[in-house]
Chain A
Amino acid sequence: NAGVTQTPKFQVLKTGQSMTLQCAQDMNHEYMSWYRQDPGMGLRLIHYSVGAGITDQGEVPNGYNVSRSTTEDFPLRLLSAAPSQTSVYFCASSYGAASGYTFGSGTRLTVV
């Protein structure tokens, strides 16, 4: 049982480049979310989804896009990378928001 799989684990981007962080889960969870974690801070919610075809903004959505075409996948797109987006990104999934989430191991992104 793979759980939540994030790729890549590490990435370095130049300012202005775009890229997609991949997230896949094999637990048939309806709820999926993307978070970023900066040093000394907790996790901040970027975007979330309560099912295929449904997405909504979290606390810090600017500069990021998401889509949810299947239950399994929830990719996060950085449109034009900025140094302020240097962070560790976590994807998570759950049966329901109140059920508790399973997290991936994270993607460490550096924008130079």
Chain B
Amino acid sequence: TQLLEQSPQFLSIQEGENLTVYCNSSSVFSSLQWYRQEPGEGPVLLVTVVTGGEVKKLKRLTFQFGDARKDSSLHITAAQPGDTGLYLCAGVSFRAQKLVFGQGTRLTINP
């Protein structure tokens, strides 16, 4: 069983601060994906990273895939209240073409 551990599970910070969310595993993944989920809705894909060491930027969000393809991080610069939500990382193994999720990080940005 592939386990994806996200940390922290809860994070509450003030508007304008920076933050990093981590996604770690002992398994190697062909792809790691980050989703954001609002209350009452399904997750929405933010980014997919497929190459070890890959860095992708989406406005104030920076995503990194570890060199060993076992971990990833999401860094938000100058957080805004609109960034509030549940952030989920998910991975695809090389052997089985299924997507498994971490437990999520609930982020609250206070004005």
Q: Which residues of A are in contact with B by a Cβ distance under 8 Å?
A: 4, 31, 33, 35, 40-45, 48, 50, 56, 58-59, 90, 92, 94, 96-106
Contacts and interface: CB of A to CB of B under 8 A. Distances in A.
Interface residues of B, number: 26
A45 B99 contact: yes
Given A42-B88, A42-B103, A103-B42, A58 B98 contact: yes
A103 B43 contact: yes
A100 B33 contact: yes
Interface of B: 1, 6, 30-31, 33, 35, 40-45, 48, 50, 88, 90, 92, 96-104
A42 B104 contact: yes
Contacts of B35: 103
With most chain B CB atoms within 10 A of its CB, the pick from A33, A41, A100 is A100
A97 B97 contact: yes
B92 A97 contact: yes
A42 B99 CA distance: 12
Given A59-B1, A92-B42, A105-B41, A99 B48 contact: yes
B102 A42 contact: yes
A37 to B, nearest CB: 9
Contacts of B92: 97-98
Indicate the member of A31, A35, A45, A101 with the most B CB atoms within 10 Å: A101
Contacts of B90: 43
